[in-house]
Structure 1
Amino acid sequence: MPHAPRPRFGIMTAPSQVDYHDVLRVWREADTVPEIEHAWLFDHLMPIGGDPYGPTYESWTLLSALAAHTRRLRLGVLVTSNRFRPPAMLAKIAATVDIVSDGRLEFGIGAGSRPGHPLARREYEAHGLPFHDSAHAVGSLAEACMVIRRLWTEDEPFDVDGTYLHLTGAFGNPKPVQRPHPPILIGGRSSPTLRVAAEHADLWNVPGGDIDDAVRGSALLDQYCAEIGRDPASITRSIPLPVSYEQPGTTREAIGNAIDAGFRHIVLGLPAPYPADVAQWVADELISTSASR
């Protein structure tokens, strides 16, 4: 039996109800801590917790700034809402960030953000964005993944006449640094989204930290991969886990359960306010005791 790949640990700083310089401080510190290999933002346009009219930064703009201030961390958005930006525009944005970061982007995308959450739903109406049903969201996600990959890799303009996307003379230049393209991480738990992940994802991220739900989703992803003749092991399993500064043992237990369940891409969500030297604390208190599993 082949040896399982070692876990890769990262952090997530929600770009909401925080100051830019606080996020920048944490990412710069994490960039110097080898145990932390990746760092993430989320994609909301308005707060989904706390003061409903507090600050929330646009994730890709912020990600580009953080990419320019770091040198080692792989980085991304966990996950981009495909409802917010036209896919061809998103491909251009992501290619720019991959260039700014010198090839460190991990491209996270999903069907869209928490339609049942009233504080998430309002951000569409507040920004004049359409909110289609789930079938439309997942169908357009599949077409988006296809178009984005083509824009990153094809050397000639092309047309698209899909169910959801219609492009004429589509062409991406410059291309991303990474070849053939940045890794694609698809986030979501619904069966239709898992089918999209089976076809397009290099990594799959399960929303939330419920391990039983994560295991069920991973097994379903295995099934969908088998149906299309893809090796399920070619898709890295990713899970976000909340960090408790007061009870690190609880977080360590959750990490251990996730690793034992086959999740090798661990994203540790850091609540704000961020303590001083929080990245080193994460390495010492959480990662060092878990990485050997």
Structure 2
Amino acid sequence: MTAPMQVAYEDILRVWREADTIPEIEHAWLFDHLMPIGGDPAGPALEGWTLLPALAAQTSRIRLGVMVTSNRFRPPALLAKIATTVDIVSGGRLDFGIGAGSRPGHPLARREYAAHGLPFHDADHAVGSLAEACTVIRRLWTEAEPFDFPGTYVQLTGAFGNPKPVQRPHPPILIGGRSSKVLRIVAEHADLWNIPGGDLTDAASRSALLDRYCAEIGRDPATITRSIHLQVSYDEPGSTRTEIGLALDAGFTHVVLGLPSPYPASVARWVTDELITPSLRR
């Protein structure tokens, strides 16, 4: 992951182009914030869904996505159209990441809503609208006829998606979050589930809770890939390797390595040699 804040487009492009040439690196990610959530609060932040197709057009192999899209920022039908366009530009390499949106207790994330004239509803509204958004987006990607959707949070009349995404039946859906309410949505809608790293004991317990929610609706929990974001330490790669090993042991097979900026020269090769290859040899 290259969080597009406090960094220039050219630097992100350099990393993604290099990663695209390294088979051990399977996917690359941006985040979805309109202002920095770390470092200088007045520093630069590029918009993720605008940046993503630019990077897709200059790569050819790696899967790519936004981890994760804030469902609070864009109406879901518009988001479905944006994501379809990226899937087409990338030749079918999009992993569609979405979540309920920034948690209320993060002041640097919370400020971006007021700064852009966006409403910030309570958690119940955020979760309820996420569930409806996942339903609407999948239908726009797959249904051949226009439809109405009279939801509690989303209302559509004559909704129709054309063209459809390259991937069939649709791009993989990755939902990020750790709350029990979000995990119920994951059980129903997601192909992948992502949780931020940190307390791996908590992450494992959340994964077990997801298993339970899947069982309640008759879904095989093994059909949801477990994904985790881990921050990379350039100075102490051994500590990052240890975290990767613990995450793999806990069943998280989709590992996203967050790269702090500024990015060293040949950072993708360094990540492969110092972190990925040793982890694959465990």
TM over 0.5: yes
Q: Output the CA distance in 1 between the equivalents of 2:30 and 2:198.
A: 17
Matched, 1:85 2:74: yes
Offset, 1:197? 0.1
Deviation of 1:57 after TM superposition, in Å, equals 0.6
Take 2:272 and 2:196, find their aligned partners in 1: how far apart are those partners? 23
Name which of 146, 160, 163 aligns with 1:157.
146
3-state secondary structure, aligned to 2:14: helix
Q: How many residues align?
A: 282
CA distance in 2, matches of 1:16, 1:115: 20
Matches of 1:45 and 1:210 in 2, distance apart? 27
Q: 1:171-190 counterparts in 2 under 5 A?
A: 171-190=160-179
Does the CA contact (< 8 Å) of 1:46 and 1:55 recur in 2? yes
Q: Do the aligned residues in 2 keep the contact of 1:209 with 1:242 (CA within 8 Å)?
A: no
Q: For residues 209 and 179 of structure 1, what CA distance do their matches in structure 2 show?
A: 34
Relative to the length of structure 2, the TM-score reads 0.99
1:33 is matched with which residue: 22, 31, 36? 22
1: CA distance between counterparts of 2:29 and 2:198?
Answer: 16
Alignment correspondent of 1:47? 36
Report the residue type matching 1:49 in the other structure.
Answer: G
The one-letter amino acid paired with 2:128 is G
- With structure 1 as the length reference, what TM-score do the two structures score? 0.95
Q: 2:203 aligns with which of 208, 214, 217?
A: 214
Q: What SS does the corresponding residue of 2:278 show, helix, strand or coil?
A: coil
Residue 279 (structure 2) aligns with: 290
Please list every run of 5 or more consecutive structure 1 residues that lacks an aligned counterpart in the other structure.
Answer: 1-11
Select the residue among 2, 15, 22 that pairs with 2:4: 15
Letter in 2 for 1:61: T
The Cα shift of 1:209 comes to: 3.0
**Partner residue in 2 for 1:230:** 219
Q: Which runs of 5+ in 2 are unaligned?
A: none
Of residues 261, 264, 276, the one that matches 1:275 is: 264
Q: Name the amino acid aligned to 1:114.
A: R
Instruction: Name the SS of the counterpart of 2:83 in structure 1.
Output: helix
* Residue 252 (str. 1) matches residue 241 (str. 2): yes
Q: Which amino acid aligns with 2:133?
A: A
Higher relative contact order (CA 8 A, sep 6+): 1
Write the distance in 2 (CA, Å) between the matches of 1:208 and 1:123: 24
Which deviations, in whole Å up to 9, do the C-alpha atoms of 1:258-283 show, x marking residues without a partner? 00000000000000010000001111
